[in-house]
Amino acid sequence: MFPPGADRGRLPLMVASSYMKAKRADYEGLQHNLESIDALCRNPPGNRQREWRSVFRLDIECLRAIASYWNGNPEGAFEHGSWILDRQSDSPMFTAMTTSIYFGGSLALTGRRAEYLSFVEHAATKPQGAHGGQPLPFLFTKTVVHMYRGELAQCRAAASRLTTSPDFAMPKYFEVPGYYFLGFVAYERNQLDEAERHFLAVQSRRLEAPVVFDHACAAGLAQIELARGRLGAAQRHADVARSIAIESGSSMLLRGTEAVERFTALAAGKRPDVPSKPPLDSDFVQISILQPLQSWARAQIQSPSLEIRELALEVISAALHRADMHGVTIRVIQLSALRALALDALNRRAEAIPILETTLRRGADLGLVRSFLDLGEGIRSLLEAVAERRPDDEYVAQLLDAFAASVLSPAGDRPRPRSTAGRNEGAPFEDLTNREMDVLELLQQRLRNKEIAARLGISAATVKSHTLGIYGKLGVQGRREAVRAAIELGILPG
């Protein structure tokens, strides 16, 4: 916006530059600017600067609220937001509106639930266009908080209102984020086509989209393609996300891009390059599907080094504590499942299973799906162990069914078409695990799921999961077709 150094020592330009950094999601750069502004305000050169300090105090406090929030300090956002709202009658509409968004979010993230509910409900009853009382910003805040808490139905309802409320002031500014949140909910429910449609709606209106949501949609589209097993398409969307992050100069968005790139490498069966130092745990406030710390920890869990796996567990536990302290329920569930996976990687399955069972109860209440599926085959193995302990648990069976239909796994374990072209008869079918082979052989004997379960000493739910996995890998729809295809491929004797 300005030539390098042009804003140095000029408070109005420093404030304008800070707003531009906030718009580009360069929150670390914003914090650096605010430190320079603080230094200038402590020792202002001349009467004009003293006058400007008074004039721009509301803007500076607003910027401090933004920087505090996105740098993982909701208490700071609450403090600076309170200062402005106490002087709301003096605040320009934009400043009051922006502050209200971050103040409402900080109430929710600092355990002030009653105050948060009172704040947003009271604001929603104010006349449209009343000074500082526009309904749409508060609806936006409610949407974000519902997302943090994993309240998918409420998040979807609020996001739908963001996209279909033409009477609100500034509808376009909030409409585009509304489509992102609809995509977020659809993705978590494993409704990939619907999620893709909403994310593409944001990309088609990129000039209207705040950069945070533009980047989150590019990353979300990459996650969708990973879930479909299309690694090349996933990498292309990850490249778009990286270009958005580089153009914005946002280190937060760069960390988000690296998270997607690590997941892409893991899905391809590769070990990604992982920095020894974990990402900032302040990223718990991000609205993206995937947190940088989650992908870092998942990659480290697979390290051959016991020391690195133990470090990953420590980092996960610390991040879990912080997310729980701030009431970010969806991250708590994701990190708890990841903690169970880390314990299992340390050969501590006896500790992992009870943790996962507790996590599953919370996930079942919210209807989460991809929070578990995106952790890959390691969590699937733990889910199978839980299914054997709780064979009648419908939610666990649902997740295992989703796993069986999913292709988010290393490249050598993705479903293949049934075609035998180019295949030597009698060659081993590497996609089927030993347990799937056991199940397939008993399917050939026309045993029912309960009979197979009794024969193998596993639950009927686990048998169903293996059966669906066999169908996916053979490219068939039923038992007889699976047996016929296996005979044609030389997997089973005729």
Average pLDDT, the chain: 83
pLDDT confidence band for 453 (50 / 70 / 90): confident
Q: Where in the chain is the domain with CATH 1.10.10.10?
A: 415-488
Which range is least confidently modeled, 175-189, 197-211, 273-287, 457-471? 273-287
Position 25 pLDDT exceeds 60: yes
Query: Do residues 11 and 23 touch, judged by C-beta distance below 8 A?
Result: no
Q: Residue 62 corresponds to which tokens in the numbers above?
A: 């607003």
Position 198 pLDDT exceeds 90: yes
pLDDT confidence band for 329 (50 / 70 / 90): very high
Q: Tell me how far apart the alpha carbons of residues 327 and 321 are, in angstroms, rounded to a whole number.
A: 10
What pLDDT was estimated at residue 289? 86
% of the chain at pLDDT higher than 90: 41
Position 416 pLDDT exceeds 50: no
Model confidence pLDDT, tens digit, residues 108-131: 888 887 888 788 777 655 554 443
Amino acid at 201: A
Model confidence pLDDT, tens digit, residues 400-415: 988 887 754 443 333 3
| Closest listed residue to residue 406, CA positions, set 226, 261, 185, 236 | 226
Q: CATH number for 415-488: choose from 2.30.30.40, 1.10.240.10, 1.10.730.10, 1.10.10.10.
A: 1.10.10.10
Model confidence pLDDT, tens digit, residues 417-443: 333 333 334 444 446 777 888 899 899
pLDDT confidence band for 234 (50 / 70 / 90): very high
pLDDT, mean of residues 352-360: 97
What pLDDT was estimated at residue 200? 94
pLDDT confidence band for 6 (50 / 70 / 90): low
Q: Where in the chain is the domain with CATH 1.25.40?
A: 1-133
What pLDDT was estimated at residue 62? 92
CATH of domain 1-133: 1.25.40
- The verdict on pTM exceeding 0.85 is no
What pLDDT was estimated at residue 426? 41
Model confidence pLDDT, tens digit, residues 159-169: 998 888 654 45
What pLDDT was estimated at residue 491? 83
Q: Greater confidence, 266 or 368?
A: 368
What are φ and ψ of residue 26, in 5° steps?
A: -90, 75
Q: Tell me how far apart the alpha carbons of residues 268 and 409 are, in angstroms, rounded to a whole number.
A: 8
What pLDDT was estimated at residue 414? 38
Model confidence pLDDT, tens digit, residues 297-319: 999 998 889 999 999 999 999 99
What pLDDT was estimated at residue 188? 96
Which range is least confidently modeled, 357-361, 370-374, 388-392? 388-392
Position 69 pLDDT exceeds 60: yes
Q: Which of 84-93, 129-138, 162-171, 351-360 has the highest mean pLDDT?
A: 351-360
What pLDDT was estimated at residue 412? 34
Q: Tell me how far apart the alpha carbons of residues 473 and 258 are, in angstroms, rounded to a whole number.
A: 30
pLDDT confidence band for 2 (50 / 70 / 90): low
Q: Tell me how far apart the alpha carbons of residues 414 and 438 are, in angstroms, rounded to a whole number.
A: 19
What pLDDT was estimated at residue 313? 96
What pLDDT was estimated at residue 123? 63
% of the chain at pLDDT higher than 70: 85
